[in-house]
Amino acid sequence: MDPDPPLHETYKPLFDNTKISSNNRRRLVTVEERDLPSIDLSRLSQNELEKEKCKEEMARAAHEWGFFQVINHGISMELLEKLREEQVRVFKQPFQNKCREDKFLNFSAGSYRWGTPTATSIGQLSWSEAFHIPMTDISSSSMEPFATKVASVAQKLAEILAEKLGHKSTFFQESCLPSTCYLRLNRYPPCPIPLDIYGITPHTDSDFITILRQDQVGGLQLVKDGKWISVKPNPDALIINIGDLFQAWSNDFYTSVEHCVVTHPTKERFSAAYFLCPSNETVIESCSNPSVYTKFSFREYMQKVQDDVQLYGYKVGLPRFLP
Ligand SMILES: O=C(O)CCC(=O)C(=O)O
Ligand SMILES: [Fe+2]
């Protein structure tokens, strides 16, 4: 039985409507490949000066790039390889099983997603499949040791970034709970179609911070100084990016940057992303005045995102909360 979702059959009408011209032929492959700023987290356990310098560099990267990578993050290669093995095993299941409405592999129904049901043009299509799993569902799986560690790295980094803006608080511990945070397992099947097709369309993340593990295939791109650049894969590193909520909380000091994944013609790609999200009731307001955005609850934010996607086919995000 075939593990692949029926991307070719389902979206064929979109390809047929798109003329293959030099304009939409793999435009994105030509972007420059760059290393993200690299932060060595082992410096956090050194002397005060080193520790402060490390925090300072992190805050600068979150401000200037919205993205950075961390090394010596405390998650062993063994755990990362286990995660990968488990991820491959999960996606190798027949497509029919992945779609099941009852519990599959202990993940709640509805965790599995593929393609883009609302896409009306190829630019809106994400050539990928994913399991979007609440942390509470991970507890009984073999990914639990990774999930626990990554959750604690996320808490620690969020606290450091808040502290650098002068706020020592338990806000993230209190509002981001296992029932509100997610692990998303992504798989990008090879895409041999000679058109510019995204693995995941350009977006910003709707959380505080995301921790991402990408494999050696590469394909993650982000906007830096108004230009798309491609992120060089680094097996030792985890990628951190600022989400919309931290941008709002930091009053635009940290930046939630647009990113996407481009497909590979022959190779499949796997990635795993941890999203530090608050409960629906949590109110996000700026840590300083005057505030750039009007305050909103996470529920209101996600409702707007969903409404905009339905209405326009894309997320508007933070600009919806400009006064
Ligand atoms: O797979 C990747 O590298 C990025 C995934 C991503 O941006 C997401 O799941 O929000
Ligand atoms: Fe993302």
Q: Taking the domains of the chain in order of start, what are their residue ranges?
A: 27-321
Specify the pLDDT at position 169. Answer: 81
Hey, what are 306's tokens? 């969903």
CB 112 within 8 A of CB 104: yes
pLDDT surpasses 80 at 227: yes
Rg (CA), the chain: 19
Q: Which residues make up the environment of ion ligand 2, defined by Cβ < 5 Å? A: 205
Architecture of domain 27-321: Sandwich (2.60)
Q: For residue range 57-86, list pLDDT tens digits in order.
A: 999 999 999 999 999 999 999 999 999 999
Specify the pLDDT at position 22. Answer: 46
Mean pLDDT computed over 226-235: 94
Within the chain, where are the H helices? Answer: 7-16, 48-64, 77-91, 95-98, 135-138, 144-163, 171-175, 244-249, 298-312
**Which residue's CA lies nearest to atom 9 of ligand 1?**
273
Pocket test for ligand 1, best of 259, 274, 277 (most atoms within 8 A of CB): 259
pLDDT surpasses 60 at 24: no
Specify the pLDDT at position 101. Answer: 67
Mean pLDDT computed over 239-250: 98
Specify the pLDDT at position 310. Answer: 87
pTM for the model: 0.95
Specify the pLDDT at position 103. Answer: 63
Q: Is 269 a catalytic residue?
A: yes
62-66, 77-81, 104-108, 309-313: the lowest-pLDDT one = 104-108
**Which residue's CA lies nearest to atom 3 of ligand 1?**
220
pLDDT surpasses 80 at 153: yes
Give 163's contacts (C-beta < 8 A, 6+ positions apart).
55
Mean pLDDT computed over 263-274: 96
Specify the pLDDT at position 110. Answer: 77
Complex ipTM = 0.99
Provide the pLDDT confidence category of residue 19 given band limits of 50, 70 and 90: low
* Pocket-forming residues, ligand 1, beta carbon under 6 Å: 184, 186, 200, 205, 212, 214, 220, 259, 261, 271, 273
**Strand ranges across the sheet with 220-224:** 33-34, 227-231, 220-224, 259-262, 198-203
CA distance 109 to 96: 13
Computed over every residue of the chain, the mean pLDDT equals 92
- Catalytic residue selected from 113, 187, 213, 269: 269
Provide the pLDDT confidence category of residue 31 given band limits of 50, 70 and 90: confident
Specify the pLDDT at position 1. Answer: 80
Mean pLDDT computed over 256-267: 96
Q: What percent of the chain has pLDDT over 90?
A: 80
Q: What is the distance of C-alpha 317 from the center of its chain?
A: 15
Phi, psi of 239, deg, nearest 5:
-100, 135
Specify the pLDDT at position 142. Answer: 85
Specify the pLDDT at position 125. Answer: 94
Q: For residue range 170-205, list pLDDT tens digits in order.
A: 899 999 999 999 999 999 999 998 788 999 999 999
